[in-house]
Homo-oligomer: A and B are copies of this chain.
Amino acid sequence: MLTPTPFPKSFASDNHAGVHPAVLAAVVEANTGDAPAYGDDVWTRAAEDAFRAEFGAQATVYPMFNGTGANVVGLGLVLRPYDAVLCPDTAHINSNECGAAERLLGTKLIPLPTDNGKITVDDIHGQLSALGNTQRSQPRVVSISQVTECGTCYTADEIAELAEFTHARGLFLHMDGARLANAAAELNCSMRALTTDVGVDLFSFGGTKNGAMGAEALVILNPELDAPALFLRKQGMQLASKMRFVSAQLTALLTGDLWRENAAHANAMAHRLADGVADLPGLSLRYPVQSNAVFPALPEKAITELQQRYLFHVWDANENVVRWVTSFDTTPEHIDTFVSDIRRTVRAAVDG
């Protein structure tokens, strides 16, 4: 048996966490002899039922391997060959998917600068003069991330306003919901209240960062967009042959609101972390804490020292902003130890 080097609790990413026991149990339980491949199995039917219960009867769901896959396949459903995607410049599809959207979809991404990862109706409005101009890529879909890559959340009203504005101009609204659960937990509402009820056309549902082993899904709420999904998932290399083991993870998260329990806990840990350092001279938060991530600016020397003992990423090297992420299995003890170390280190850096 493999014995990994002891690895400390990471604050680098919610991808560093393992699998929630209930999710792992569901995977193990799905291993009961033969089952049809490619999603024609009872576990996938159960996952579809669970999504419909959560998001409404019109929701169609396509389990996929990872978030990039769910984003690319989903956007592929709305884009014509000459279309563009409007998104925040911080969007994962723009900055962290190695150009997958451009290469695999042939689309232009039009990155919009933001203060905190959230785009507004005005940001979109500024791009619409291209509509009808045959020399320009046509804005076709607005893609927002909920929660954003800056850890902030759109309120339900903000999403509704974006949806109304985009729909009125013939555009669609897409959501990268890699951390949709965290948003719903933070805003104390259902996930449906942030998607179906406010006009989102389709979204990527993230399971992996919320305690799954590797399970995401494309969820389509606008039935007009559904027809080619099976073809695009297959062509997009996101069709699992033994899909039951992906679907079972999704069902586990949606059963008994495990998704909310995991997300709420992770968020609470991020707030505990932020609260523990907010008063520190020399440390300031770049964005408000609205999910499971904290983005503080702190002295470069403190960053260097903390990174010798803790895993986390630098977010903005020019301004010494780092990113601390919590997960479903971060404990109060993890946070308190980390806070204590941060306080000592930042104080020393400020004093020194």
Residue ranges of A at the interface with B (Cβ–Cβ < 8 Å): 1-2, 4-5, 7-10, 12-13, 15-19, 24, 27-38, 41-43, 46, 65-66, 68-69, 72, 76, 80-84, 95-100, 102-104, 106-109, 111, 129, 134-138, 208-209, 213-214, 228, 230-232, 234-242, 245-246, 248, 251, 311, 317, 329
Please tell me which one of the listed residues B33, B96, B98, B107 contacts residue A99 in the complex, with CB atoms under 8 A apart.
B107
Please tell me which one of the listed residues B13, B34, B135, B228 contacts residue A234 in the complex, with CB atoms under 8 A apart.
B135
Known interface pairs A2-B42, A232-B81, A242-B208. Does A69 touch B237 (Cβ–Cβ under 8 Å)? yes
Please tell me which one of the listed residues B24, B72, B129, B237 contacts residue A72 in the complex, with CB atoms under 8 A apart.
B237
Note all chain B residues with C-beta closer than 8 A to A1: 29
Note all chain B residues with C-beta closer than 8 A to A107: 99, 102-103
Known interface pairs A16-B36, A33-B9, A237-B68. Does A231 touch B138 (Cβ–Cβ under 8 Å)? yes
Find out whether the CB atom of B2 lies under 8 angstroms from the CB atom of A46: yes
Note all chain B residues with C-beta closer than 8 A to A96: 135-136
Please tell me which one of the listed residues B30, B99, B209, B311 contacts residue A235 in the complex, with CB atoms under 8 A apart.
B99
The complex places the Cα of A294 from the Cα of B277 at a distance, in Å, of 55
Find out whether the CB atom of A103 lies under 8 angstroms from the CB atom of B106: yes
Known interface pairs A228-B80, A240-B65. Does A4 touch B16 (Cβ–Cβ under 8 Å)? no
12 contacts between A and B (CB under 8 A): A2-B30, A13-B241, A17-B34, A68-B237, A82-B103, A96-B135, A99-B107, A99-B137, A104-B236, A108-B109, A135-B234, A214-B240
Note all chain B residues with C-beta closer than 8 A to A311: 36
Find out whether the CB atom of B237 lies under 8 angstroms from the CB atom of A4: no
Find out whether the CB atom of A32 lies under 8 angstroms from the CB atom of B4: yes
A256 CB to closest chain B CB (Å) equals 13
Question: Helix, strand, loop or mixed for chain A's interface?
Answer: loop
Note all chain B residues with C-beta closer than 8 A to A33: 7, 9, 18, 329
Note all chain B residues with C-beta closer than 8 A to A138: 231
Find out whether the CB atom of A65 lies under 8 angstroms from the CB atom of B237: yes
A134 CB to closest chain B CB (Å) equals 4
A15-B242, A99-B106 given; 6 more Cβ-contact pairs under 8 Å: A4-B43, A18-B32, A65-B214, A66-B237, A81-B231, A214-B242
Find out whether the CB atom of A106 lies under 8 angstroms from the CB atom of B108: no
The complex places the Cα of A106 from the Cα of B100 at a distance, in Å, of 9
Find out whether the CB atom of A4 lies under 8 angstroms from the CB atom of B35: yes
Note all chain B residues with C-beta closer than 8 A to A15: 37-38, 241-242
Chain B: CB-nearest residue to A83 = B99
Find out whether the CB atom of B228 lies under 8 angstroms from the CB atom of A82: yes
The complex places the Cα of A230 from the Cα of B98 at a distance, in Å, of 10
Chain B: CB-nearest residue to A234 = B98
Note all chain B residues with C-beta closer than 8 A to A209: 241
A42 CB to closest chain B CB (Å) equals 4
Find out whether the CB atom of A134 lies under 8 angstroms from the CB atom of B98: yes
Find out whether the CB atom of B232 lies under 8 angstroms from the CB atom of A19: no
Please tell me which one of the listed residues B97, B103, B106, B242 contacts residue A213 in the complex, with CB atoms under 8 A apart.
B242
